[in-house]
Amino acid sequence: MKKLFLAFLLVVSFLSFGAIFKNSDPAELRYALTYESAKNWDKTIDDIIRKEAYIEDWYGEDGVIIYLRRSGIMKEKEFQFLMSLSKKNELEITPAEFNDFVDLVDKYRKKMPRTFSLKAENIKNPAGLAKMMVLEGSVATFSNPSSHIKLIADPGDWAELTALSKKRDFDKKDVKQLRKILNNILKKDTLFDREAWFNKEMSARVKQLDELNSGLGVGKRERNNINAKALYVAYPEFLSRLDHWGK
């Protein structure tokens, strides 16, 4: 009977510990969030998202909080709640408010990872982009992003791009066709080429692309991120900033 009672206590203890662990928030455990973290919510969220972002283009140069609000990930009601925390002393923040804060941190962490897709509105000058890609693609003296894309693109896509480049003005159908071609190019595992992109510009962002491209653990999302950034870096005057692309 005594052994049975001890066994029962062990089971109860295990279940209690399991419940505590299950209900503990991952963000709270990983980042040791405190009531001070809740009061300084903007810095806390900004620091966490920046640490977890594969590339800074997940949120863009406007910053984490502005991106979260602009994208609708952070609702207005949530923003007002977070603002209320910053107006309180740490001791005035209740356990319920702290838990709500932690839940929001996890929500934003889960919604931030991005798989970029090019939308029609992301192409600022469709006719100019098509012409530039085909013109640069014909350069044989040195490798550049367009000449490399010409090598890896499906022949049918490049033929369509060449036909589009001869048009002076684009209608909605032409833009849709160009967008389809570019999104097909984005799926290529060999889109980024260090020589071609360094010939385009010697910069920190190309160095970052080179390091990411040659790194270990490049999965489907990481490949998409590298390729999207590579395409934007190749044609920044024709494409909108990466953080404005579709998710």
Task: For the chain, give every domain's residue range.
Answer: 24-111, 120-244
SS3 call for 90? helix
pLDDT category, 27, cuts 50, 70, 90? confident
pLDDT category, 216, cuts 50, 70, 90? confident
Q: Which residues contact 222 (CB under 8 A, 6 or more apart)?
A: 54, 212
pLDDT, one tens digit per residue, over 143-170 is 999 999 999 999 999 999 999 999 989 9
With a cut of 80, say whether residue 225 has pLDDT above it.
yes
Q: How many CA atoms lie within 13 A of 25 on its CB side?
A: 18
With a cut of 90, say whether residue 190 has pLDDT above it.
yes
C-alpha 145, offset from chain centre: 22
What gap in Å lies between CA 81 and CA 9, rounded to an integer?
A: 42
CB 192 within 8 A of CB 208: no
Annotate 168-230 with DSSP letters as a single string. SS--HHHHHHHHHHHHHHHT-TT---HHHHHHH---HHHHHHHHHHTSS---HHHHHHHHHHH
pLDDT score for 26: 64
